[in-house]
Amino acid sequence: MDIMKKMIMRGLAVWLVWIGFCVAVQASEPIRPIPRKLPYNKSKAELGYWLFIDPSLSSDGSVACVSCHSFGHGGADPRPVSVGVHGKKGYVNAPTVYNSYFNFRQFWNGRAKDLKDQANGPLHNPIEMAMKPKMIEAYFQKSEKYRRLFKKVYGRAPRYTDALDAIAEFEKALYTPNCRFDLYLRGEGELSIKEKRGYDLFKTVGCITCHNGINIGGNSYQKMGLIVPYPWSESSPDRFDITKNPMDKNVFKVPTLRNIALTAPYFHDGSAKTLKEALQKMAYHNLGFELDQDEIEALEAFLETLTGEKPAILKEMGM
Ligand code: HEC
Ligand code: HEC
């Protein structure tokens, strides 16, 4: 009897240690998986979807949000810099809208505090959509479909501020759960030896100091060219643009690395055409050394495990 008891106690102790170990490992992982399900208001998000893809929200009827944030390109723009109304060229690469809800601020220099605040930007920007709230409201008023949808969702005639709210809700729904790395973090999937080596390198060489948290970025401002200076341009949307502090030249919100394999070209200036090139430049400018071929391949293999599922709302909308 005593022996049985002892064995059970011992078994229990081993289990407790094992569970404690697992919890500790989970807690010490500097990257967190995104939730499998994120609650959002479905009817708002659906209205937001129609607004997001509607070129009539631009002054010449040629540009919608989706023109620069392509659903088939990881929510980003395949062009190095975006092109707005009347073919006007911008000066920065469009970041992904997928998982942007998890960013602590919006835009490369964080000038918008949240998605609602952000959506106000491109609609007015003279080189993006170039519209005024009054023009947008007048357009909604003329549309039977929008009058019906706004009434259903907000219980009143279309308003510009409600449109921003709906767009933000749609963007909240643009999260990409269950990438292979998240499954690995949850103990539900394996990584290959190469991918694991890539993740180890990501931590040991120091990428993790800037790219961490739920979005593997998107939670701090850091300098591009921390160790080896990176060329600076006057038109750069960096922190300097806001603070006018020379120390803030080339300081940007760290971009998310989720779905990074889908969103070439890279960097605020779209200067890195491939993921390999982006990794090499990152290691050189921000860590001060050159990666060898083997390391680049392992890191790339790891980054490829960050591609998540296509947002469920897009499937629901038939995209
Ligand atoms: C003409 C191209 C263009 C159009 C149209 C456009 N965007 Fe963008 N978007 C960009 C560029 C370029 C940036 C980065 C600008 C910056 O940081 O200064 C950006 C940034 C963003 C961001 C911030 C992401 C982050 O990680 O900081 C979000 C969110 C976003 N856009 C959503 C939208 C929405 C919503 C619309 C429609 C109302 C829209 N965009 C229309 C090009 C465009
Ligand atoms: C000191 C902070 C810091 C470190 C360390 C760092 N990064 Fe970055 N990373 C950034 C910033 C800031 C940007 C945006 C730079 C820009 O656009 O000019 C960036 C951009 C990127 C991009 C391009 C993202 C996009 O959407 O364009 C990739 C890929 C990347 N980093 C991967 C890595 C890898 C891999 C490492 C390690 C070898 C690493 N980073 C180390 C801060 C850092």
pLDDT at position 311 over 80: yes
CA terminus-to-terminus distance, the chain: 64
Which of 115-119, 129-133, 172-176, 270-274 has the lowest average pLDDT?
129-133
* Segment 197-212, tens digit of pLDDT: 999 999 999 999 999 9
pLDDT tens profile 24-67: 444 468 999 999 999 999 999 999 999 999 999 999 999 999 99
Residue 64 CA to ligand 2 center (angstroms) comes to 28
pLDDT tens, position by position, 219-254: 999 999 999 999 999 989 999 999 999 999 999 999
- The identity of residue 292, as a single letter, is D
Is the Cβ–Cβ distance between 55 and 67 less than 8 Å?
A: yes
**Which residue's CA is the nearest one to ligand 1's atom 37?**
65
Nearest listed ligand to the Cα of residue 262: 2
Instruction: Return the pLDDT at 2.
Output: 64
At residue 130, the pLDDT reads: 87
Q: pLDDT tier at 124 (50, 70, 90 boundaries)?
A: confident
Non-local (6+) Cβ contacts of 185 within 8 A are 26, 29, 31, 32, 33
> Are the C-beta atoms of 273 and 264 separated by less than 8 Å?
yes
Q: Which of 70, 100, 128, 238 to mutate to test the pocket of ligand 1 (most atoms within 8 A of CB)?
A: 128
In terms of Cβ atoms closer than 10 Å to its own Cβ (0-12, 13-18, 19+), residue 245 is exposed
Which ligand has the minimum distance to the alpha carbon of residue 272? 2
pLDDT for res 25: 42
Q: Considering every ligand atom, which ligand is closest to the CA of 251?
A: 2
Residue 4: predicted pLDDT? 63
Q: How far is CA 214 from CA 7, 48, 100, 259, in A?
A: 41, 24, 11, 13
Span from the CA of 286 to the centroid of ligand 2 (angstroms): 8
**Contact (Cβ atoms closer than 8 angstroms) between residue 58 and residue 131:** yes
Mean pLDDT of the chain: 92
Q: Is the pLDDT of residue 99 over 80?
A: yes
Cα 122 to middle of ligand 1, angstroms: 6
**Does residue 100 have a pLDDT over 80?**
yes
Rounded CA separation 275/80 (Å):
14
Question: For ligand 1, what atom is nearest to the CA of residue 97?
Answer: 29
